[in-house]
Chain A
Amino acid sequence: MPTETTKSIFWKGARDASPFILVVGPFGLLFGVVATEAGLNILETMTFSILVIAGAAQLTALQLMTDNAPTIIAIISALAVNLRMAMYSASLAPYIGPAPLWQRACAAYFLVDQSYALSILEYEKHPKWTVRQRMVYFFGTIAPVCPFWYIATLAGALIGSSVPDWLALDFAMPITFIALIAPALRTRAHVAAALVSIIVALCFAFLPYNLGLLVAGIAGMMTGAEVERRTEARAAA
């Protein structure tokens, strides 16, 4: 669509991302509450959320610190959970790689599950977008998500332990990720990748330091790629 302006693309990104406020809100709240209950003060809790912006990794590190695991294990486990960010980075590189370095440095900071998931789908849908338009869309998706992450963390830290148990905030993250992934299972290759990932993650859950997730991620990726290759080979034959 050649008539799309930079402004309209930014707002499209913001609009597409706005449902995630409902997700990021409870998740940030959850982290703030759990961190406070674990004994972190507001400065520590906020620095954590602002520096890392990745709830799953933050909760992993927090859980292990609470369990008195060695510091290095808490760090490695949290980083293992975040290794998927390197995969997101590689996946976006062909689309936004030509942008100026300072823009890429900013985008890297804001590379989270939501901005990645929305952007990669939109880039595939609009192959004619310029690099600048892609960057604008990316930052549009950030606009509602990241400020809410900080605010929700702060709210959670202030509320602390007065959150009622029946809210079951612990399960907001799984439900959120399922809601993100299930609608994106468009092809047999996507379904196969997800199924293999689930099975391998459950089978290798006994591995220490979240290594099961790494094995599951690699197995799922290889499965998806192989199913896609075979599907294309069959279509070409």
Chain B
Amino acid sequence: MIDTATIWIVIAAVGIGSYFFRFVFIGLIGDRQLPAWILRHLRYTAVAVLPGLVAPLVVWPPATQGQTDAPRLAAALITIAVGLWSRNVLLTITVGAFSLYAALYLAG
């Protein structure tokens, strides 16, 4: 069981820190134009961070204690393929969820 004081310290620190990250540029820098090379890097933030966040979870899922899990891996690959092919987020999520359950069912 986690200590109550620890829980509140973590909630407060992560909450305040996250707000600072969110506010720092839109709040403090405002509309001062950033240099072109910074903007060129920032264009790729989402596609640079989220795949790196997801990849280890796909290859070593916490739910299987980090053991590579064929159904989860298959569902992820199907989701990538459908996303690249369809360019449609909702369709991709739907197919992804369906393929995960189908794969888990088939794997028993």
Contacts and interface: CB of A to CB of B under 8 A. Distances in A.
B49 A84 contact: yes
A44 B8 contact: yes
A66 B2 CA distance: 7
A81 B43 contact: no
Interface in B8-50: 8-15, 17-19, 21-27, 29-34, 37-50
Interface stretch (A5-13, A52-60, A144-152): A52-60
Interface residues of A, number: 97
Interface of A: 19, 22-23, 38-40, 44, 47-48, 51-54, 56-58, 61, 63, 65-66, 71, 74-75, 78-79, 81-94, 96-98, 101, 104-105, 107-109, 111, 113, 116-117, 120, 166, 168, 170-185, 189-190, 193-198, 200-202, 205, 212-213, 216-225, 228-229
Contacts, number: 295
Contact of A85 (B8, B21, B52, B101): B21
B11 A51 contact: yes
Contacts of B33: 94
A195 to B, nearest CB: 8
Which of A53, A85, A171, A220 is packed against the most chain B CB atoms within 10 Å?
A171
What does DSSP make chain A's interface, helix, strand, loop or mixed?
Answer: helix
Contacts of A229: 40
Given A79-B17, A183-B89, A175 B97 contact: yes
Given A52-B15, A179-B96, A201-B53, A94 B41 contact: no
A65 B14 CA distance: 13
B26 A92 contact: yes
B22 A213 contact: no
